[in-house]
Amino acid sequence: MPVVIDVNAADDQRDLVHRAVQALAEGKIVAFPTDTVYCLAANSFHEGAVARLAAFLAAESSAEFSLAIKSCDEALDYAPRLPPLGIRLARRCWPGPLILSVDDADEDSLVRRLPEPVRRLLGAKHRLNLRVPAHPIIQGVLKLAPAPLIVAELTGPGDSAAVTAEDVVRLAGEHVQLVLDHGASRTHLPASMVKISDKSYELVKPGALTDEHLRRLASFMLVFVCTGNTCRSPMAEALMRRRLAERLECSLEDLEDRGVWVLSAGVSARAGARASVEADEALAHWGVRLIQHESQPVSDRLVRFADLILTMTRGHRDALLSQWPEASQRVCLLTRGHGDVADPIGGPIELYRKCAEQIDRCLANWLDEIDFSQIPVWRGGKPPPVPPPQGQG
């Protein structure tokens, strides 16, 4: 029977991480709690452990093997040509309950360095499944382990999932050597598996993420940033929404249902402030208003979710990159290096109008940068609203 360790009773969870790393290095199969249900894991470089895991789960027709990796960035080591849509979903969902199923034909993939039997197991359907579980224990193991893990969610008769350590012992018994018990899973649903191709995705195994959530998560998100989010960035947001609606031939209200989110935020903004009266008046020429706008500060999640962040000044860009250097490829100056968009605050209405005109001229060029073929469009009615993260949440 396996050794079962109560995670909550441990004096230092780092000791559990080291113990699990050692067990995996010795070729043992370890059961981990995850952000979904319990999974069984083996060292991807240990052929014997992977073979035993595969043999045990062979009777499970629904068993899917995934390569558990550290992060979204590491995904490109194993799927170098992961399409932008796949990168977007990975950035927004990982760590989390998403398995990305990608084409296994890339010769530059680090999967080619794994033992041949392991490669055959992972690419049995000419697809490679990648996952970044969110639980801190398995995250700690992935950071210390010299190789990624082969993982599979444990299910029983009728595809019932292992949601407790007791379920693991009952279903796996002697086939698992170490079980890390962290109580019942937060959800009884498995991870959702999404098949990614160049310009589309398919939910091939429903789970914790529904099709409606994935539709929103696959949307393109553009964020404008200024200082207080009451003047320049709200004007940019409203003007860009107008241009996008014209390009997509839809109403402003239907933009989100066409797979496009346009937001704004401020590096020194407080939540809930209204747009300035002058900024709202300056947009009258374009037939758009800011009366519904509420300011929000830039947040970790907003930066992580954004596909493109356009700042009004170099100072705003520098402020973002000092805190989120990993976003450097997605944070750009609105003017493309041709000066800043000066703050009209406190000036006459004519200054606000000139500011809006400068912003709108810049937007015309950025509109051509958006690859609309990478934005999934769905039909057949609106999905339930699942808005992107805002504020500090």
Instruction: Enumerate the active-site residues.
Output: 226, 232, 343
Rg (CA), the chain: 24
Q: How many residues does the chain have?
A: 393
Q: Compute CA 175 distance to the chain's CA centroid, rounded to the nearest angstrom.
A: 33
CA angle (326 as vertex; 209, 231 as ends), nearest 5: 85
In contact, 23 and 178? CB cutoff 8 Å: yes
| CA separation, residue 307 to residues 84, 87, 107, 151, 329 (Å) | 10, 10, 28, 30, 9
Residues 6+ apart with CB under 8 A from 39: 31, 32, 133, 151, 152, 153, 154
**Integer CA distances (angstroms), 376 to 11, 222, 314, in order:** 47, 15, 32
Q: Which of 57, 53, 62 has its CA nearest to residue 150?
A: 53
- Euclidean distance between CA atoms 123 and 116, whole angstroms: 10
Between CA 49 and CA 43 the distance in angstroms is 7
